[in-house]
Chains A and B, each alone.
Chain A
Amino acid sequence: MYEWDFSPVLAEGGFLLVGFRNTLILTATALSGGLVVGLLLAFARLSHRRWLNVPAGVVIEVFRTTPPLVQLFWFYFGLPIVLSVEMTPFLAASLTFMIQSGAFFAEIFRAGIVSIERGQWEAARAIGMTYNQCMGRVILPQAVKRMFPSMMERSIELMKTTTLVATVSYADLLFQANELAQKTFRPLEVFTVVALIYFVSISFISFVASRMERRFARSGEFTP
């Protein structure tokens, strides 16, 4: 019968904490970048100019249909060769996850914008708004409310995807766990604790998200 012993893991709690901090830093960087990339890709995709919407469509489809781990290897091992630059694990991971999540965000934004009734555009045009004014003041505020649940879901997916970065030796929570398991010879305890850390933090984020969703739903469709 195996005897569980968490004391070696708890004694090295600081080691895991560093990893957790790095996971949060990478998630925040990739998320903020991903939202911007997503918005730009969505606008490009909706544009009537072919030189904008065709390349945007290609980027979106390529990053949605290839595995994120292959993308990460491509950016980490492949890209430095073309650009002849130094690549760090953090930079490669930020780039990969920004564009990857951006591709998914773009589809969420596009679907949200398209879901707003045509009449809203026409009404805004009729009272003399320009395209940008329509988009900024009428369409986006309503679309964001509809997109919110999918956006939160995708952000949580992103946080889980950041674990892939352990394979290129960025010291995220999973990477630190691997090191600690080798150091303490306690893989069972280490990986159980780490799984619990992810479970608790991700459950907390989705709890907050669902509370916010309900608030949004109550606030109605047409309040600014």
Chain B
Amino acid sequence: MTYIWNFQDVFNNWYALAIGAAGTLRLFVVCLVLGMGLGLVIALGKRSKNRPIRWLATAFVEFFRNTPVLVQILWFYYALPIIAPIEIGPFLAAILGISLNSAAYSAEIYRGGIQSIEPGQWEAARAIGMNGLQTLRRVILPQAIRRIIPALTNRGVEIFKMTTLASVVAYVELLQQGKLIASLSYNPLEVYTVIAAIFLIILYPIVRLTYALERHLARSD
């Protein structure tokens, strides 16, 4: 007896999926901005001449890279409210977990990019009288960012995929809405196939773009 696929119930619930997609997008944008922004700050912290700052930045990166992001989200959701006098809902817990995790990963990308710029560039900028921050902003970062765009785009794709973990704390995003539809219409096969397809359709063009960027940069360097 072969199974007959029936997507009718999934499409009838398109509105629930649309709400989920909005939730996914909202979480993604916040985590992307916070993760990549904080990542740059931490990368600079790792290069600081001040020992405590350097040490703190390193500890941050090591800790968030060496623990699973799902453990981080659950820690922020269940554990943090006990010591911090604030309400932490699913959205905030997911933001904290995913952004801090992505900040640690993107910090390493920025660091690699900055290190890849020849020391002579720093010396030249110094020689014409720029200070450290000016050199970084006008000379080093514009070149470094160009080199790490493929790696950062890749990280962005990872962040988008990571947003599904927010469903574990019942934040309303695509997968969470999928679970709801599947439990109401008893059609998990069709629902999860559609959810996977949505991610594939959104992310595949971006992945192709990264390949193209990598090839382009490899040629121009």
Contact = CB atoms under 8 A, between A and B. Distances in A.
Interface in B71-128: 71-72, 74-75, 78-79, 82-83
Interface stretch (B32-40, B43-51, B129-137, B163-171): B163-171
B195 interface: yes
Interface stretch (A34-42, A46-54, A135-143, A161-169): A161-169
Contacts of A61: 204, 207
Interface of B: 1, 3, 62-63, 66-72, 74-75, 78-79, 82-83, 157, 161-165, 167-168, 175, 178-179, 182, 188-189, 192-193, 195-196, 199-200, 203-204, 207
Q: Per DSSP, are chain B's interface residues mostly helix, strand or loop, or mixed? A: helix
A167 B200 CA distance: 22
A65 B199 contact: yes
A15 interface: no
A217 interface: no
B71 A198 contact: yes
A124 B94 CA distance: 53
A81 B3 contact: yes
B167 to A, nearest CB: 7
Contact of A74 (B68, B179, B196, B204): B196
Q: Per DSSP, are chain A's interface residues mostly helix, strand or loop, or mixed? A: helix
A203 B203 CA distance: 31
A78 B3 contact: no
Interface in A167-224: 167, 174, 177-178, 181, 187-188, 190-192, 194-195, 198-199, 202-203, 206
A102 B75 CA distance: 30
B170 to A, nearest CB: 12
Contacts of B157: 65
A77 interface: yes
Interface residues of A, number: 41
A207 to B, nearest CB: 10
A67 interface: yes
A192 B74 CA distance: 10
Contact of A187 (B71, B78, B162): B78
Interface string A76-90: 011101101000000
Contact of B82 (A79, A187, A198): A187
Nearest to B74: A191
Tell me which of A61, A73, A166 has the highest count of chain B C-beta atoms within 10 A of its own C-beta. Answer: A73
A74 B179 CA distance: 11
Contact of B66 (A77, A84, A202): A202
Contact of A195 (B75, B162, B167, B199): B75
A179 to B, nearest CB: 12
A222 B35 CA distance: 41
A203 B161 contact: no
A51 B79 CA distance: 51
A155 to B, nearest CB: 13
Contacts of B199: 65-67, 70
